């Protein structure tokens, strides 16, 4: 009679079934799909509890993913149902539905019950969630009344279960793909930002946090134009890319971090369109290029020095060959005609020849030493006493140009793996450059040179800072280039020589400057 009753209302059931499947197909989240399934069951049969399980092949058990009619958190804490055990486990093993009209009278199949937590189970049915030939889960429905379900109910619920199985499998694949892509995003070394068509930040990965200094929580969901994070001091290239529908690749620039620091970056963008070809979002991938640019400069410098070494070896040889007899001839003529009563004009010209020959010889010596690594690192000295000796040589020029010299040297003796001539050459070049810089200031501007020497555990840190005219950003990148100079009488090898001295002692020299705002040179040398 019950089956006949169901047949009588079959057109109502089919309408409910059709509407339910339509809603399931439109749902994007499996928890929403679960609720749709439970709503169908509620409108189709009487029940007290319904549960959806996912098959865990690795553990050979069933994991509950959704339920209605009992406490889900308590159910999750229970010992998992094993495949092949209890009624639900048998459905998973045999891949076929089970109908029990009265659980308490069933002797062949046992249904697990928790009387203190769940409603009493009398009527019970369970259907497999099958995709192809593979069981991926189970849907069980139970009632506290006996004889509540029949074969017709099983068939109808099985139809819903089949549709739910496909969507559950699809959901599992989507979740797995999303987790995989999230792992890639979080572990990739490049920063990734995704903004929607409203310029709101939708994705901001860990590398983006590390490079920018901003946290995910500070920027997510916000308009990229409204946050202080800037690229090239202006709006992000993402905006230009979206407005102009163009893709950027490895575009150089810089980013202003949260702490105000500038970091060199390389940036690429990609545009995402929907099925109607409307711009949906923009992906921006960027990386910190600071260290790479430093390495590139070091490689370029090494190449230049290598080429310079080969060039100077030939030049010095060709110049010294005729220079030696010129020097010898001038010495001979001075000895012969330089006595009392000699021609003054002749003596003056001979002195010029001798002095210029000596100057040219010293210049050649500097060129030759550019390509001799061991020359610079022989010996050791105490840098503070060497600095003081150097300042004695420069004292007259410092006072003459009204320069205020401020020293912060401490009392500790610091020895470095450079001989005294090397260290004096470093100090002379840098302090003379600082003096030139502040001397070009107008009278009403500060003329200060500050020299500070500190130590860490293994290194001496020397800072020479002036309030001079500074160096433009364009020229700052060239100051260690061979023969590059902005001075009318400069040779362009002074900074190159001290760069080589410091580098070959395992030290480092860094220059910070801004046009019109002075220069700061920081030298790091290992302590003996």
Helices 290-337 & 344-369, crossing angle to 10 degrees? 150
Whole-structure pTM value: 0.40
Count the neighbouring beta carbons within 10 Å of the beta carbon of residue 443.
6
Token pair 């928890």: residue: 31
Coil, strand or helix: which one is 63?
Answer: strand
**Quick one: CA torsion of 463, 469, 470, 471, rounded to 10 degrees?**
-140
Reference 28, options 171, 137, 165; nearest CA is 171
Reference 348, options 360, 337, 332; nearest CA is 337
The pLDDT, as a whole number, for residue 48 is: 93
Count the neighbouring beta carbons within 10 Å of the beta carbon of residue 259.
7
Count the neighbouring beta carbons within 10 Å of the beta carbon of residue 72.
13
Reference 142, options 69, 207, 76; nearest CA is 69
List the beta strands (DSSP E) in 28-170.
49-56, 61-68, 81-82, 98-100, 123-131, 134-143
Residue 303 Cα distances to 278, 483, 503, angstroms: 50, 15, 15
The two structure tokens encoding residue 223:
């308009």
CB 360 within 8 Å of CB 319: yes
Give the CA radius of gyration of the chain: 42
* Burial class (CB within 10 angstroms; exposed 0-12, middle 13-18, buried 19+) of 521: buried
Q: Can you give the pLDDT of all 528 residues of the chain as single tens digits?
A: 333 444 444 556 778 888 888 888 777 667 788 888 898 998 889 999 999 998 888 888 998 888 999 888 888 888 888 999 889 999 999 999 999 999 999 888 889 888 778 899 999 999 998 887 888 889 999 999 999 999 999 988 988 888 878 777 776 676 666 667 667 777 777 888 888 888 888 888 888 888 888 888 888 888 887 766 555 555 566 677 777 788 888 888 778 788 878 888 888 888 888 878 888 888 888 888 877 777 777 777 677 667 766 767 677 777 777 878 888 888 888 887 776 666 778 888 888 788 778 767 766 776 666 555 444 456 888 999 989 988 887 888 888 888 889 999 887 888 998 888 788 888 988 998 899 888 877 666 788 899 999 988 889 999 999 988 888 877 787 777 766 666 656 666 778 778 888 888 889 999 898 888 889 999 999 998
Distance between CA 282 and CA 504 in Å, rounded? 47
Distance between CA 289 and CA 267 in Å, rounded? 10
The pLDDT, as a whole number, for residue 406 is: 92
Distance between CA 371 and CA 221 in Å, rounded? 57
Token pair 């000295």: residue: 381
């Amino acid at each position: 009679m019950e089956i006949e009753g169901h047949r009588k209302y079959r057109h109502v059931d089919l309408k409910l079934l059709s509407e339910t499947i339509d809603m399931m197909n439109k749902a994007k989240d499996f928890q929403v799909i679960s609720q749709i399934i439970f709503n169908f069951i509620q409108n189709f049969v009487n029940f007290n509890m319904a549960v959806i399980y996912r098959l865990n092949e690795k553990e050979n058990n069933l994991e509950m993913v959704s339920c209605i009619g009992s406490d889900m958190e308590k159910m999750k804490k229970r010992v998992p149902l094993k495949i092949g055990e209890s009624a639900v486990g048998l459905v998973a093993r045999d891949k076929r539905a089970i109908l029990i009209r009265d659980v308490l009278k069933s002797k062949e199949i046992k249904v697990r019950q928790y009387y203190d937590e769940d409603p009493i189970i009398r009527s019970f049915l369970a259907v497999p969630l099958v995709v192809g030939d593979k069981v991926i889960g189970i849907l069980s429905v139970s009632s506290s009344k006996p004889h509540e379900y029949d074969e017709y109910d099983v068939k109808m619920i099985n139809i819903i279960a089949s549709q739910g199985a496909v969507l559950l499998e699809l959901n599992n694949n989507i979740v797995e793909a999303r987790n995989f892509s999230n792992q890639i995003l979080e572990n990739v070394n490049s920063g990734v930002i995704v903004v929607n068509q409203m310029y709101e930040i939708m994705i901001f990965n860990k590398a983006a946090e590390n490079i920018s200094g901003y946290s995910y929580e500070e920027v997510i969901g916000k308009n990229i134009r409204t946050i202080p994070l800037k690229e090239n001091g202006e709006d992000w290239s993402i905006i230009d890319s979206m407005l102009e529908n163009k893709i950027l690749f490895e575009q150089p620039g810089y980013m202003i971090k949260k702490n105000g620091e500038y970091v060199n970056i390389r940036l690429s963008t990609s545009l995402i369109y929907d099925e109607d070809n409307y711009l949906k979002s923009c992906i921006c991938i960027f990386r910190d290029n600071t260290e790479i640019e430093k390495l590139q400069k070091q490689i370029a410098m090494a190449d230049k020095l290598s080429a310079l070494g080969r060039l100077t070896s030939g030049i010095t040889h060709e110049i010294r060959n005729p220079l030696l007899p010129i020097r010898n001839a001038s010495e001979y003529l001075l000895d012969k005609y330089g006595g009392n009563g000699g021609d003054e004009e002749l003596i003056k010209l001979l002195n010029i020849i001798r002095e210029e020959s000596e100057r040219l010889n010293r210049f050649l010596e500097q060129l030759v030493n550019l390509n001799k690594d061991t020359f610079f690192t022989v010996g050791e000295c105490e840098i503070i006493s060497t600095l003081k000796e150097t300042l004695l040589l420069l004292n007259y020029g410092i006072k003459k140009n009204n320069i205020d010299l401020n020293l912060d040297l401490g009392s500790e003796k610091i020895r470095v793996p450079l001989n005294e001539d090397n260290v004096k050459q470093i100090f002379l070049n840098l302090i003379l450059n600082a003096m030139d810089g502040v001397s070009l200031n107008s009278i009403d501007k500060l003329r200060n040179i500050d020299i500070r020497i500190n130590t860490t555990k293994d290194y001496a840190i020397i800072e020479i800072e002036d309030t001079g005219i500074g160096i433009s950003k364009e020229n700052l990148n060239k100051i260690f280039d061979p023969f590059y100079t902005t001075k009318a009488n400069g040779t362009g090898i002074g900074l190159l020589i001290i760069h080589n001295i410091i580098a070959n002692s395992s030290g480092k020299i860094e220059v910070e400057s801004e046009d019109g705002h002075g220069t700061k040179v920081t030298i790091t040398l290992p302590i003996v």
